[in-house]
Amino acid sequence: MRCLFVSLMLALISTGAMAQRSVAFVEAASPDDALVIAMRDATLPESVSATIGAAASENITRAINRTGFTGEAGLTASFVSGASAYGEIHLVGIGPSDLRRRDWEDFGARAALLAKVSRAGRVSVLADGADAEDFADAAMGAMIGQYGFTKYLSEAEPVTGEIAFVASSASAAQQAYESEGRHLAEAVMWTRDMQSEPANVLYPEEFVRRTREWFNGVGGVSITVLDERAMARLGMGAILGVGQGSPRPPRMMIVRYNGAASGEAPMVFAGKGITFDSGGISIKGNTGMWAMKADMTGAAVVMGAVHSLAASKAPVNAIAIAALAENMPDGGAQRPGDVVRAMSGKTIEIMSTDAEGRLVLADAVWYAQEQYDPSLLVDVATLTGSVGGALSDEYAGLFARDDATADALTEAGDVSGEDLWRLPLHPNHDKQIKSLIADVKNADTGSPGASTGAAFIGAFIKPETAWAHLDIAGVDWRAEAEPTRPIGASGFGVRLLDQLARSRAE
């Protein structure tokens, strides 16, 4: 029978926003399914040959030999053959090495991208040697890999059908996915949705409303929201100063999940939540300002991570704090040269109103320490452009005062696929943030900008607090697609913090 080879480049099938196929777990593929097959080299696995039949196997083997497909990780190829009941047969290279969790997620995402262009109602995924956890990881990758934000498209292309992972124990794979992977995938996609919303729709009070709604019914969770009066009583002059130029008032939102012993100190994740950053009086240029709708990514990330932990009943105590404000330049806005007093009592000279993220975090991290005495405090922020200049979109910047904290976060990044690179915190950076008329200044600190930004937040961290700062400004938005991170909002940090919390619990 004739065998037609069709080359599918990943870049061609990873663009565009559309609805998603659901995932399922089955013990056998059905005739008329499209097949996606994990390939460690150029040889079809015997189980696959038995499934598709000798004639189709021979045809595909000849085509593989002609095209030079090697099974290298990331390579894909697709075939249409009349010699098999399975009309579409797609190959995805996974390479010969043992696969990590992030590799299985990437494989699942590539399978999902192939499913996007499939005409079959169901796409069945075969992977010899995969266990239940591997299939669960692949399913999670498939869900976040086919993500697209279609809410405002007048004619979004409909997608139906499912991606079925063929496992020897489908029930075990289903259980593994339902216990953790599904919740993590939903958290990543919720975070991306929040990042993608325009600022005329998403502002501090709306962020609070949506987050409350999302957590409704999740066990072990309590929510506190501080309005302007509550923040004023606590002396939070830093976040109030940032928000005073907008008619949409700031908020501090705290979501607490208790999944471990009641007396166990919680981990606290604090996120920068600037729902739009015009720069304030120090207004930004127009080019690229549209992207400042996503300057609240840190806040969405920490909420997403805690939701994943709570929904999956993880045995941890974790708290998410969202420091929410809109940075706008009206007649009541804070000015360069102003001095504000943070909750800690320290005074801050405002050298630039466009260095506002560190201001809202100054109050958030102090509140976290005063209220919760955390076992670990991690702040997450799209803080500086300079971190992208240093690390591009390959890594987020990691700052920590001690090696143990830095190592724990680096390892969590490696496992989760959200990589970190440690950048320096030096005593000179503390000198650079000193002000002539106040305790510290928020800008005009010289280079390196990412380190002086971290040093500013560090000025509000107690010496005894285990703390890390994640600058995600280079990785929060993808200009080029990766398997589990399509073009657009990345949700970077949700998987990382989820993994960090679980590994510390172990």
Give pLDDT tens digits for 262-303. Answer: 989 999 999 999 999 999 999 999 999 999 999 999 999 999
Backbone region of residue 255 per phi and psi (left: phi > 0; alpha: psi in -120 to 50; beta: other values): beta
As a whole number of angstroms, the distance between CA 34 and CA 118 comes to 7
pLDDT tier, 362 (very low <50, low <70, confident <90, very high otherwise):
very high
Spot the catalytic one: 248, 284, 422, 478. Answer: 284
> CB count, 10 Å around CB of 337?
10
The CATH code of the domain that includes 111 is: 3.40.220.10
Residue 229 known to be catalytic: no
How confident is the model over 326-335, as a mean pLDDT? Answer: 97
Q: Residue 14 has what pLDDT?
A: 34
Q: For 20-77, what is each residue's pLDDT tens digit?
A: 899 999 999 998 899 999 999 999 998 888 888 888 889 889 989 988 899 999 999 9
Identify which has the larger pLDDT, 46 or 5: 46
One domain, residues 34 and 152: yes
Domain boundary among the residues 172, 199, 229 is at 172
Q: Please report how the helices 101-116 and 403-416 are oriented relative to each other, as an axis angle in degrees rounded to 10.
A: 30
Residue 251 known to be catalytic: no
Q: For 74-89, what is each residue's pLDDT tens digit?
A: 999 998 766 567 878 9
Tracing tokens 């937040």 back to the chain, one arrives at: 457
DSSP secondary structure letter of residue 463: T
* Cβ–Cβ < 8 Å for 231, 337: no
As a whole number of angstroms, the distance between CA 81 and CA 317 comes to 53
* Cβ–Cβ < 8 Å for 39, 93: yes
As a whole number of angstroms, the distance between CA 252 and CA 406 comes to 27
Q: Residue 117 has what pLDDT?
A: 86
One domain, residues 132 and 193: no
Does residue 374 form part of some domain?
yes
Does residue 178 form part of some domain?
no
How confident is the model over 298-319, as a mean pLDDT? Answer: 98
Tracing tokens 């992972």 back to the chain, one arrives at: 165
How confident is the model over 492-506, as a mean pLDDT? Answer: 96
Does residue 149 form part of some domain?
yes
As a whole number of angstroms, the distance between CA 378 and CA 413 comes to 14
One domain, residues 364 and 325: yes
Q: Residue 84 has what pLDDT?
A: 67
Query: Which residue, among 85, 38, 84, 91, has the nearest Cα to 63 in the 3D structure?
Result: 91
Does residue 179 form part of some domain?
no
One domain, residues 101 and 243: no
As a whole number of angstroms, the distance between CA 102 and CA 145 comes to 12
Q: Residue 83 has what pLDDT?
A: 59
As a whole number of angstroms, the distance between CA 216 and CA 164 comes to 30
- Mean pLDDT rounded to a whole number for the chain: 93
* Cβ–Cβ < 8 Å for 8, 77: yes
Tracing tokens 């005329």 back to the chain, one arrives at: 200
The domain in which residue 64 lies consists of 3-172
As a whole number of angstroms, the distance between CA 361 and CA 399 comes to 15
Q: For 401-441, what is each residue's pLDDT tens digit?
A: 999 999 999 999 999 999 999 999 999 999 999 999 999 99
One domain, residues 311 and 381: yes
Does residue 177 form part of some domain?
no
Q: Does residue 448 have a cis bond before it (omega within 30 degrees)?
A: yes
Q: Residue 82 has what pLDDT?
A: 62
* Cβ–Cβ < 8 Å for 423, 398: yes
Identify which has the larger pLDDT, 94 or 82: 94
Domain boundary among the residues 172, 206, 221 is at 172
pLDDT higher than threshold 80 for residue 16: no
Identify which has the larger pLDDT, 18 or 429: 429
Residue count of the chain: 506
One domain, residues 51 and 142: yes
Question: Which secondary-structure segment (H or E) carries 349?
Answer: strand 347-349
Cβ-in-10-Å burial (0-12, 13-18, 19+) of 54 comes to: exposed
**% of the chain at pLDDT higher than 70:** 95
Domain boundary among the residues 172, 194, 216 is at 172
One domain, residues 191 and 337: yes
Dmax over CA atoms of the chain, in Å, equals 83
Which range is least confidently modeled, 118-132, 236-250, 460-474? 118-132
As a whole number of angstroms, the distance between CA 494 and CA 312 comes to 14
One domain, residues 296 and 337: yes
Identify which has the larger pLDDT, 51 or 314: 314
| Predicted model pTM | 0.94
The CATH code of the domain that includes 493 is: 3.40.630.10
Partners of 434 in the beta sheet? 440
Spot the catalytic one: 110, 256, 293, 358. Answer: 358
Does residue 252 form part of some domain?
yes
The residue type found at 396 is A
pLDDT higher than threshold 50 for residue 10: no
pLDDT tier, 160 (very low <50, low <70, confident <90, very high otherwise):
confident
Does residue 250 form part of some domain?
yes
One domain, residues 73 and 106: yes
Does residue 220 form part of some domain?
yes
One domain, residues 335 and 480: yes
Q: Is 55 helix (H, G, I), strand (E, B) or coil?
A: helix
Which residues lie below 8 Å from residue 377, measured CB to CB, with a gap of 6+? 267, 268, 270, 365, 368, 369, 461, 465, 466, 467, 468
The total of structural domains in the chain comes to: 2
One domain, residues 299 and 197: yes
Tokens read off for 145: 């890999």
pLDDT tier, 506 (very low <50, low <70, confident <90, very high otherwise):
confident
One domain, residues 192 and 60: no
As a whole number of angstroms, the distance between CA 129 and CA 142 comes to 19
